[in-house]
Structure formats: C-alpha cells, structure tokens
Amino acid sequence: MSHDRKNRARDGISRRGLLGSAAGVGVAAAGAGVLAGRMSSPAAAATASGTVPFRAANQAGIVTPVQDRLHFAAFDVHTRSRTELVDLLKTWTVMAERMTAGHEATPDGAIGGGAFAPPSDTGEALDLSPARLTLTIGFGPSLFTTADGGDRFGIASRKPGALVDLPKFTGDALDPARSGGDIAIQACADDPQVAVHAIRNLARAGFGAVSVRWSQLGFGRTSSTSASQATPRNLLGFKDGTRNIKAEDHDTVDKFVWVDRGDDQAWMAGGSYLVTRRIRMLIEPWDRTSLHEQERVIGRTKGTGAPLGGKDEFDELDLQSAGPSGPLVDTDAHVRLASAEELGGIQILRRGYNFTDGSDGFGHLDAGLFFIAYCRNPQTQFVPMQNNLARNDALNEYIKHVGSAVFAVPPGLGPADYWGSTLFEN
Amino acid sequence: MSHDRKNRARDGISRRGLLGSAAGVGVAAAGAGVLAGRMSSPAAAATASGTVPFRAANQAGIVTPVQDRLHFAAFDVHTRSRTELVDLLKTWTVMAERMTAGHEATPDGAIGGGAFAPPSDTGEALDLSPARLTLTIGFGPSLFTTADGGDRFGIASRKPGALVDLPKFTGDALDPARSGGDIAIQACADDPQVAVHAIRNLARAGFGAVSVRWSQLGFGRTSSTSASQATPRNLLGFKDGTRNIKAEDHDTVDKFVWVDRGDDQAWMAGGSYLVTRRIRMLIEPWDRTSLHEQERVIGRTKGTGAPLGGKDEFDELDLQSAGPSGPLVDTDAHVRLASAEELGGIQILRRGYNFTDGSDGFGHLDAGLFFIAYCRNPQTQFVPMQNNLARNDALNEYIKHVGSAVFAVPPGLGPADYWGSTLFEN
C-alpha cells in the first residue's frame, strides 16, 4: 500500500480523475446492494488487502466486523453558512473515500503538492495499509436547531423525531465537555495510526468551519458484530457482547439497526442512530469484589462467559430457573436487565471500545468503556434499556456515565452522494 | 496462549512451582548472556510464540525491538516502610515475570481463587497472547531522597550521581501532574490490552503503598531499536529514528546505553537511565507550513526520509556541503542539532510513541510524541543534546515539552533477583 499511497501523489492523478474511478467502484458496490435487496453487511465485501467499501446502501463502520482500534471525534460547527457546511461535507466525503481505500487524504498528498505549499495530507499514514478503515458520520440534534429552536442551516424541519437529546438517566454524571456535538465522525481501523490520521486530516480540512469538541481513542474493541469474530473482554475482565446483534442475522439488523422508509424523515431511510456513552469504570472497588459477586452482578461466569447455570458462552440465557438462593440470574443482574426478554424484545447493536486515558488525579487509572450503540430509534430502544439499567443494574456501583451523545447517521452513499446529501439535497 | 493462561489457574499450579520453573529458564538465559559477554539484546531470544525473556543481563524493553503499543505509568510511593516497599518490588517481580510469559498475573488468576475471594488477576487479558510484553522498571530521584534531602528508605547514599532531576530547558512548559514520579514502569506490547492489563494489575497490587501519579498510552511506536524494523513515522508525518542506535550494534549500545561497573554506583552496572518527555505537537501551525519549510526544519525529505541532499533514507547525513542558499542542512535543522557530529559524538537510544489524548479544550487534538530515551548517563548525553535542541531547534516553533521525568533503570535480573535487588540488597 505504501507504494500505492505514494505513487498516487507522484503520478499527479487529479482529484477529479480519482473520484471518477472511485465513484465507479461505488456504483458497482451500491448496485449490487440494491439488486440483492438491502445490503446489510458492507464489510462482507472487504477485500483481501484490508479495505472496506465506502459506498454501499448503508454506511460502513456499523455492521462491519468491529476493527481493533477507534478514534472518535465530535465537532462543533462554527460557520453560519449552509453553503460552507455543505462544501465541507463534500470535501470530507472525497477525503474519507480516498483514505478508506488506502490512499492519502488528497491527490497531492504529503509530498506531491510542490515544495512551497503546505502538504495537503499530514503524512503519518504514508507507509501504512488501509487497515480496514471505516469512517462513519452522524449529525447531532444541535446541528438542526439551536437551543432556542432556531433553524441554523434551514434543516430544522428535517430533524427526525427520534433525534432528541437523551434524557438524564439516574446516576448520570455527565461532563458537558465530553458530551454532545453537532457532527460525529467515527474512525475504526485495525491500526490506530490509520484511524488517528483520518480524524486529524478531516479536522484539519474543517479548520475555521468546525472544531473538535471532544475525541476519544479506544484501544481494544469490546464487542463483535459478526459471527466470525471471537467475543472480546472489557476492563471488568468479562466477555462483552456475547448476545450482540450479528451482521449475518439480516432480519434482526433490519429490524433494530436500519431506519426504514416509513419510520420518520425520508432522508434517514437506510440510516441509523448512534449513541455514545463514556462509561468510567471504578475498577478499584470492582477489583476488590469477590468472583461470586462479580458473576452475580454480570449474570455470567468470568472464565467462559457462559450465562449463570450454563456451560458455554453461547448457551441460552436462563431467566426463569431458580438458583441456590433466589433466581439463577439475579433480578438486578446486568444481562437480565439488558436482555431482549426483559425489554419487550428490544435489541441494539453495540460497538464499544476499552479506553485508558491517563490517571484521574487521585492515584487511579482513568479507564473504562466507550460505549457505542447503533439503533433504528434511540427513543424506543436505547432509552428504555438504559432507564432499566440506570435504575436497577447491580453494576451501577462500579461504573459512572461521564459522557453522552446521540447522532442521526444518514444512509450509505450512492455514486453521486456525499455525506449528508439526502439531508441537504432533494 | 488462551489455553495456557486459563489452565495455569485451573490446574492450581502453585506460585512456588511456577516461579521455580520460570527461574530455571532465567538461569539459562542469564547464563548464556554472561558466557557470551554482556548480553545486549535480550529480545533477540524472543520465541516464536511472542514472548521476550524476563531475566537477562539487562532489562527487557530497552533494546528489545520496539513493540507497537505502550502503557507507561509513574507511581508515587506512599509507604514509609522500606520492608513494605521491598515486599512490593518482590511481588511485582513475580507478577511481571508471569505476565511477560503470557500467564495471568497470579497463579490463582481471574477465576481460580475460589468464588468468595476477589480474583487476583483482573481478567481482561485472559484470551490474549503474550504479545511480546516487556515490563521495565526505573527509580526516580525522589525515591532516594526527599525534597529536603531526607533519606526515605535508607538508600540516599546509593543515589547515583547521574540521577538528578533534569534542569529546566529553554521553553519548557512542564505540568507537574505529568512529570516526575518515584517509580516508573514501562509496559510495551504489540497488543495494547496486554500492556494496559499489566500496568493495571501492578498498580492494583501496589494499592495503599503506591498510587499512579501519571500514565501515558502510546498508540504507535516512533522509533526502531533493531535493524530488522522499518522506520515508523511520527505525527509530523516524518520518519523518526532513522539514525537511532540499533540493538545489533553492540559496541554502540555498550558505549551509550548500559551503565558500566566503574561508572558510578555498583548496583547500576548493566542498568541504564530512562528519560521521558511528553512533547505536545502543535500540529495545526505545523500543518499550515510548506513542505519545503517542514523539510528544512527537520533536515530530511518527508517522502523517503532521506537527509537533505541524499536519495535514500539511510544515506549519510551531510552536514558540511552548501545548498542552494546556505548549508544543505540548515544550522538550526533538527537532525543537525541532535546529531552525534554536532554533539561531540553523543548518542542516545530512543524508544518513543505517538499519542493522542482527546482534545485540548480549544478545538484541537491533544497529540504529540511521548519521547522515551535510554542512556548511560543523562547528564552527559540527554542534557547537552536537549540544551542544544531547546535553544536552537527550528522545530521548537511546533512543539512544547509538557512533561518530564528521569529514572535509574537497574540491571537485568539473575535467577534470584527481584526488581531493585541490587539496590536494596548487598
């Protein structure tokens, strides 16, 4: 790939030329998706060289098998010009498509723009592979309307009913500086430097129009979105996401992840909603808790990840049987409260990452889970689930929600689309 | 390895039994080193399964081919008891040796200690490989003497002359909360979760006696310590560490990295000194600078990494020739000021990492280079080099040193040694 990245720049392939050819690929990919019905697993088409197609019926980075590393950024929009915002979204789209294909952010790149111009790519990914990079965009409630209901960019009437700030949940200890945002970009890749490079170059292109409100690095995935992936562990030491929605289960994905045409605003059809929660884990008290108590709190065994009473990780969760004292799976166990069985069938797609951000100033590591979920409607999926957890979860003694945000994630891109074109055009 | 980690716990192998066998391996490794003269490359012995030997003439994690990821922690020591401190160092040694071999931190581990005890390993590395984990310990000046010269642990007379706080350099903007520390532990691994797990479990074992003063995650290495490694790029987009000392060059390593018996305190023979500098990169102004200026500032070309006037990365650095205007390599170019040629032959071993820690609250990413260097004497190697750079380096316009620390790194461990035994015994 290093060869690829560099030669693009040196050969002086024009942005137009590249876009043309990239869009051509997009046509084929999107076309295939349309023909086969809703394309729910763009990553199934990931090539051997580690690239995930950028254009498909749905955005990549949602049901794509979770990459190992994350760099997530939320932006504040400062421009008051709709034209400038749309221009930035178009520029970002070109850059994002290039980077996910393993090219530099721009045709000139880090070294091809001439000696007396600032390089148009920052260069730190020059020698790296695409690393399955995906870039996923979302729009926060505040992009549509100001706090007093003002119409910032002429899109207030297009704000989906499902896109409202999350309610305050019991126990929330949110830091405004780590919450909200007008626009979110999620970069996932198997190489962290590729993810960081992507966010940095997009932030750079937005200089003056947008600024980074908060960002979060995730060093290890804490869920799987494909049956082909092993279940990873979170920093509580437990396997996380055993019962997560898997890309291969198309019916479940369609039901709980992708917005359908009739749901709400037409421009969101094929999109989804993204919820992020920065969950600080109070790992010191957790680490002083007995194995029995830890397993009671979670509702699973720590070693195999099997549900209590089961033997293997994927054994059925038994919420009915009695255990030696009370129910086999406690009434306030995390898995019970988050289960579809207890929530009238509700499921969400989780895509979180472990984080460690230095120390907290009190002698402890600032560590936890950066929770990411995608759902068709956060109001009817995430909110009732989190209400149930926030009120009753035995785990609450060991965690603290310190950041929160929600974003409308537009659908995937056809050959002529840019990020947000279904919202800003038509 | 997952099998290994789990079965150790389940089979109930005693700590004594495990230590015995691990120490046996240590004898062989250390013995080989002694026979062959000073063993300057413990990692050359890294096995196919991705483990780096823990016991050798020098500590691992110094000339070991740089692993991809870093978790570095500096601790404050709170206990006033020498016995308690020594006991902790012994406990840490046992845990560190186990974890670098790919085992859980303790024989009982995350699930083998019985249901009604807190697990003695936190569990998040249960399914992961050793990932070439190395753990390297260092002792700060403040461990030996208090600010008013007090002898905290009866080791004041053993404080090496080379171990004094670094002077204030021109332009330093140090945050005390990210500087100093009584003890440092550097965890390097190819999997970040393995490195984080190691630091967390060591911090946990020290609860009450020590606390985390600061910690730093590094997501990508910015140097090579072996001729077998490609040169990576820093967040300025330039290849970094082309002229770094390589493990294969034993004479240079002996001359500039390992403390010799006659240097200073006898207990430091075979040790080294560790300097850390958290260098924030002001990437926005850098990104607005022309390619020509960037290359002038660094003294190398951005694409290939060749020195100015050269063609290939490893071409000789030409500090004498004239260029089109002035010297080919500018008088204030970074490579010139850091070069052995300009510093009377001084070299240091670099082992830094790229970092990104969220945003800085002003709309920018908080990103940069966590600089790590090992040298035989920081006063005669790092200090004059940094003085030269701090006063003259053209790069200073784009960087800010915000954290700083120095530690004495004791020698490698023989079969009966623990971390610091040459300091606390004899």
Mean predicted lDDT score pLDDT of chain A: 89
Please give the structure tokens belonging to residue B237.
């987009």
pLDDT given at position B55 = 98
pLDDT value of residue A33: 29
The pLDDT assigned to B26 comes to 31
* Minimal-distance CA residue of chain B relative to A194: B220
Q: Does B123 touch chain A (CB under 8 A)?
A: yes
Query: Tell me, what's the pLDDT at A49?
Result: 56
Collapsing DSSP to helix, strand or coil, B18 comes out as: helix
Let me know how long chain B is: 426
How far apart, in whole angstroms, are the C-alpha atoms of residue A348 and residue A249?
Answer: 13
Measure A141 CA to nearest chain B CA, in Å.
20
Helix axes A192-205, A82-100, angle to 10 degrees: 160
A211 contacts chain B (CB < 8 A):
yes
Q: Determine how many CB atoms are found less than 10 A away from the CB of residue A176.
A: 10
To which H or E segment does residue B84 belong? helix B82-100
pLDDT of residue B7: 39
Q: Of A111, A191, A236, which is closest to B291 when you measure between CB atoms?
A: A111
pLDDT of residue B325: 85
pLDDT given for residue A6 in this prediction: 39
Check A127 against B230: CB less than 8 A apart.
yes
Asked if A356 has any chain B CB less than 8 Å from its own CB, the reply is: yes
Q: For residue B223, what are its two tokens?
A: 């140097």
HSE (side-chain half, CA atoms, 13 Å) at A241 = 29
Q: In this complex, is the C-beta atom of A215 within 8 Å of any C-beta atom belonging to chain B?
A: yes
Query: Are B123 and A236 within 8 A, CB to CB?
Result: yes
Q: Residue A152: what pLDDT? A: 95
Q: Residue B295's pLDDT is what?
A: 97
What's the rounded mean pLDDT across residues A143-156? Answer: 94
List the single residue in A with minimal CA-CA distance to B116.
Answer: A290
- Residues of chain B found within 8 Å of residue A193, distances taken between Cβ atoms: 219-220, 233, 354
Give chain B positions within 8 Å (CB) of A235.
122, 124, 196, 200
Q: How many CB pairs under 8 A join A and B?
A: 209
**Torsions phi, psi of B420, nearest 5?**
95, 5
Contact B122 A283 (CB under 8 A): yes
Contact criterion met (CB below 8 Å) for B414 and B26: yes
* B284 vs A contacts (CB less than 8 Å): 204, 207
Q: How far is CA A422 from CA A29, A77, A254, B14, in A?
A: 19, 19, 20, 63
The string of pLDDT tens digits covering residues B388-426 is 999 999 999 999 999 999 999 999 999 999 999 999 997
Reply yes or no on whether the pLDDT at A141 is more than 50.
yes
Is there a contact between B127 and A230 if contact means CB atoms under 8 Å apart? yes
Q: Does A216 touch chain B (CB under 8 A)?
A: yes
Q: CB-based burial of residue B76 (10 Å sphere; 0-12 exposed, 13-18 middle, 19+ buried)?
A: middle
Residue recorded with tokens 């956060």: A378
3-state SS, residue B154: coil
Supply A228's token pair. 């082909």
- B208, exposed or middle or buried, with CB in 10 Å at 0-12, 13-18, 19+? exposed
Helix (H) or strand (E) holding A80: none
- What's the CA gap between B220 and B232, in Å, rounded? 8
B177 neighbourhood in chain A, CB within 8 Å:
361
ipTM: 0.89
Asked if A123 is an interface residue toward chain B (Cβ–Cβ < 8 A), one would say: yes
Q: pLDDT tier at A362 (50, 70, 90 boundaries)?
A: confident
| Closest CA relative to residue A401, chosen from A391, A393, A390 | A390
Residue A117 is nearest to which of B119, B220, B290, comparing CB atoms?
Answer: B290
CA distance B182 to B148: 15
Query: Beta strands of A46-174 (E only): which ranges?
Result: 69-77, 134-139
- pLDDT per position as a tens digit, A24-36: 333 333 333 222 2
Q: B237, A356: Cβ pair inside 8 Å?
A: no
Asked if residue A12 has pLDDT above 70, the reply is no
| A290 at interface of B, judged by CB pairs closer than 8 A | yes
CA A121 to chain centre: 24
How much is the pTM? Answer: 0.89
Buried b (16+ CB within 10 A) or exposed e, B43-69: bbbbeeebbbbbbbbbbbbbbbbbbbb
Phi then psi for residue B283, to 5 deg, are -70, -25
Per-residue exposure over B145-160, b if at least 16 CB sit within 10 Å of its own CB, e if not: beeeeeebbebeebbb
Residues from chain B that touch A70, judged by Cβ atoms under 8 A, are: none
For the packed helices B82-100 and B192-205, what is the interaxial angle rounded to 10 degrees?
A: 160
pLDDT at A147: 86
E strand map for A248-387: 272-281, 349-350, 353-359, 365-375
Nearest to A117 among B69, B220, B291 (CB): B291
| Among A200, A233, A358, beta carbon nearest to B215 | A358
In a mutational test of the B interface, the residue from A193, A197, A242, A354 whose CB has the highest number of chain B CBs within 10 Å is A193
Taking only the tens place, the pLDDT of each residue in A85-134 is 999 999 999 999 999 999 999 999 999 999 999 999 999 999 999 999 99
Which residues of chain B make contact with A361, given a CB cutoff of 8 A?
177
Closest residue to A219, CB basis, from B113, B196, B287: B196
Q: Which residue of B has its CA nearest to A292?
A: B115
Distance CA A177, CA B364 (A): 13
> Which of A6, A69, A115 has its CB closest to that of B291?
A115
Q: Residue A149: what pLDDT? A: 86
Question: A317-341: buried (b, 16+ CB within 10 Å) or exposed (e) per residue?
Answer: bebeeeeeeebbbbebbbbbbbbee
Cα separation, B185 vs B88, in Å, equals 13
What distance in Å separates the CA atoms of residue A51 and residue A65, rounded to the nearest whole number?
Answer: 12
Closest residue by Cα to residue B373 from B72, B2, B37: B72
pLDDT score for B49: 56
CB A40 within 8 A of CB A253: yes
Residue stretches of chain B with pLDDT short of 50? 1-48
Share of chain A above pLDDT 70, in %: 88
In the prediction, which pLDDT does A15 show? 24
